[in-house]
Amino acid sequence: MNRHPIIRNTIIVFLVLAATPFALAQAPDPVGTWNLQTDLQGQTTSFTLTITKEGNALKGKVTSEQYGAQELTDLKFENGILMYTRNLDIGGQAIAMEFKGKIEGDKMTGAYSIQGVELPVTGTRKGAISADTPQGK
């Protein structure tokens, strides 16, 4: 009787089970409050993105000093990529800003697309510890 397949299969099952919590812990999660900024020709605009989860559905809003708060539409998060539409009223004209960005841990990078113009967006999750933050404070 050959016992090697049993030992090999036991080791494989053990490794898969041992690795599962680490894989799940590292899966990106968009829920939280994000401090973001965009730069248009040297003019930086800061805003806050808040994402919550109600059941299986994500909900979100963007708040900025200049434009106030807007509820997000078409909010999706798949494979670490966040997508949504933010509708602004600028001078009585409705402008759709489509966002697509990648979440890596507590960092987000992406861009708004507005009438064919790309605006880069960067930022971090609020409360995230950065390399510049002294530990224990």
| Length of the chain as a residue count | 137
Residue 51 has pLDDT above 60, yes or no: yes
Least-confidence region, from 39-53, 63-77, 116-130: 116-130
Pairing type for strands 117-125 and 32-40 reads: antiparallel
Q: Which two tokens stand for residue 5?
A: 């397949």
Q: What is the CA radius of gyration of the chain?
A: 21
Residue 134 has pLDDT above 90, yes or no: no
Residue 13 has pLDDT above 70, yes or no: no
Mean of the pLDDT values across residues 60-72?
94
Residue 7 has pLDDT above 90, yes or no: no
Could you tell me the pTM of the whole model?
A: 0.73
Residue 15 has pLDDT above 50, yes or no: no
Delineate the domains of the chain, giving CATH numbers in brackets. 32-125 (2.40.128.20)
Q: With bands split at pLDDT 50, 70 and 90, how would you rate the model's confidence at 66?
A: confident
pLDDT reported for residue 123: 97
Between CA 101 and CA 70 the distance in angstroms is 18
Least-confidence region, from 17-31, 37-51, 66-80, 94-108: 17-31
